[in-house]
Amino acid sequence: MKRTVSIETTKQKGEKVLVQGWVNSRRDHGGLIFIDLRDHKGIVQLTIDADSDSFTLAEGLRDEYVIEATGSVAERAAELKNPNIPTGDVEIMVESIRVLNTSEALPIQVNSDQNISEEHRLKYRYLDLRRDKMQHMLKKRAEYFSMMRAFMEENEFTEVTTPILANSSPEGARDFLVPSRLHPGQFYALPQAPQQFKQLLMVGGVPRYYQMATCFRDEDPRADRLYGEFYQLDLEMSFVEDGEIVRSMTEPLIKSLVTDFAGKKLLFDDVPRIPYEEAMDRFGSDKPDLRYEMELVDLTDELKNCGFGVFSGAIEKGGAVKAIAVSKSFSRSEIDKLTERAKKSGAGGLPYMTVEGGKAGGAIAKFFSDEDLAKILEKTAAKDGDTIFFGSDERKVVNKVLGDLRSHFGDVLELKDPEVVALAWIVDFPFYEEEDGKLDFGHNPFSMPKGGAEAFDREDKENIVADQYDMVMNGYEICSGSVRNHRPEVMYKAFSVLGYDEAYVNEKFGAMIGAFKYGAPPHAGCAFGIDRMFMELMSEDNIREVIAFPKNGSGVDVMTGSPSRVEEKLLDELSIRVVDN
């Protein structure tokens, strides 16, 4: 007989069926045994009476035994119907049972609401995947991939796979290195992104490329970042010189994933374009969560002559004073914790005021004139019961401190509606960033500066703007892209600013530089972080919940025991010696 899945039994009353699955539970009522059989579609009840040849066998069944049963589908008596499951109106009157496999006592319960540690769940992931939630997640992920592929193919993109064994290149993170047996002392690198290959495809005449690319970065894991490997929708378009073309082309896909796939509400029908500097100034972040306001308010001009030395001194040194108004009053212990949080972001402290009776008060209020206090209330729009937090330092530090607090308060005050998605494009990123007095690439070296090669001739190199863009979703960066640098002379100039000569560029990017000399068309593209975006669309706050076989928070696969030591023979073949620290 052909197998019938559980949900189909509702349409087969009176018919003989064969079902297969796991024993979800077993109830022995003396003359009757009830078994809830679970398969990938749900649960259906099997009923075995004492006169059945299978009754004795059914008495010996235990949870998670794999069985096959045949019988007739019957409608349950009205008082025995179960409205909590789709098959609750029917049962299968069993004629025969066959045990396909037995099961030992489970180390974790599959059908329980008990709180199981993540470490234990990952160790027995093959059992954890049997849970309804994980089965649903795997199906939704497949549907998600299918929607993306359909969109790309409808828009005439060609799917091309690029090499996994590649060369090491400066992409902003640590490479995973693979030793070469055939070339002792030399290494491949697992690609952090298919960046060079997709640009070479543009040179090769591919008009539009995409792939669901596997990428590798040796970065510390976080709740929103997997360790080791991750997946991205990678795409590139030739004959494109304006990033807006890429943004306008991909935006409908993401909006459709929000509304049609996830069933959520878009905060903006028209996705805003926000320059990087504006995003940092208003939200203290280049990936702001726009589901709530609480913007950073600049008080530098208003307070430059105030009597509070911490503020006036910072302004005198060229810094800034900014504030955020929070609709909550805080206890002393809460303020202390917030102060520690601010210090970890680089602040020296966390000055604050409270608002009562239409007036600003608190320990520092006495240092301000009534006029200054009125300006603070007016610009922050603070109301009775609010708390105003201040930052005073270099503008970059102030933005970082208050931006972190803003995100924290969004969680504390439950302002981040999980059913709403706020999308935004952050554009016009700085080409270079200064860190510890030294310039480095802001994103990557493959972008085209606005203004072309001439942009590198300006004295204030830190103000060179790249045609780079990120899409953010509810405070997460889900996409990064740019108009690409497709001219060798521009690539050389970009690196020369950082002190690298042409020989270095040729060594690291020889294939690209060589290809660009033979009629490389202008091109642009981007890559969407599939896992992070899926996590947010599924309303999860841990990315390991949306992956079949993730590593734990320490980068260890506790199920398979990797990473692990290997035999000396294998190391010898690779000309490698392990040095224990």
Tens digits of per-residue pLDDT, 27-51? Answer: 999 889 999 999 999 999 999 999 9
Tens digits of per-residue pLDDT, 115-170? Answer: 889 999 999 999 999 999 999 999 999 999 999 999 999 999 999 999 999 987 66
- What pLDDT is stored for residue 579 in this prediction? 87
Handedness of CA 326, 329, 335, 341 (dihedral sign): negative
- Specify the DSSP element, H or E, that contains 248: helix 243-256
CATH annotation of 6-101: 2.40.50.140
In CATH terms, are 6-101 and 293-415 the same topology? no
- Calpha distance 211→218 (Å, rounded): 22
- What pLDDT is stored for residue 171 in this prediction? 59
Q: Say which residue, 132 or 173, is predicted with more confidence.
A: 132
Q: Are 546 and 529 in contact (CB under 8 A)?
A: no
- Calpha distance 73→78 (Å, rounded): 15
- CA proximity to 495, closest of 428, 427, 431: 431
- What pLDDT is stored for residue 105 in this prediction? 92
- Calpha distance 547→86 (Å, rounded): 27
Least-confidence region, from 97-111, 138-152, 299-313, 439-453 = 439-453
- What pLDDT is stored for residue 338 in this prediction? 97
- CA proximity to 381, closest of 326, 440, 444, 420: 326
pLDDT band at 431 (very low <50, low <70, confident <90, very high): very high
Q: Say which residue, 528 or 452, is predicted with more confidence.
A: 528
pLDDT band at 21 (very low <50, low <70, confident <90, very high): very high
Q: Which CATH number fits domain 293-415: 3.90.230.10, 3.30.1360.30, 1.10.3720.10, 3.40.462.20?
A: 3.30.1360.30
The domain spans of the chain are: 6-101, 135-273+424-547, 293-415
Q: Are 510 and 196 in contact (CB under 8 A)?
A: no
Q: DSSP secondary-structure letter at 135?
A: H
Instruction: Calculate the alpha carbon distances from 41 to 13, 61, 94, 132, 136 in Å.
Output: 18, 21, 20, 9, 10
Cis peptide bond prior to 86, omega within 30° of 0: no
Provide the phi-psi class of 473: left if phi over 0, else alpha when psi is between -120 and 50, else beta: beta
Tens digits of per-residue pLDDT, 47-68? Answer: 999 999 999 999 999 999 999 9
Q: Are 462 and 434 in contact (CB under 8 A)?
A: yes
- What pLDDT is stored for residue 74 in this prediction? 96
User: Is the pLDDT reported for residue 86 higher than 80?
Assistant: yes
The overall pTM is greater than 0.85: yes
- What pLDDT is stored for residue 408 in this prediction? 97
Q: Where does residue 519 rank: exposed (0-12), middle (13-18), buried (19+ CB within 10 A)?
A: exposed
- What pLDDT is stored for residue 451 in this prediction? 85
- What pLDDT is stored for residue 173 in this prediction? 79
CATH annotation of 135-273+424-547: 3.30.930.10
Residues forming beta bridges with residue 391, ordered by sequence position: 322
3-state secondary structure of 67: strand
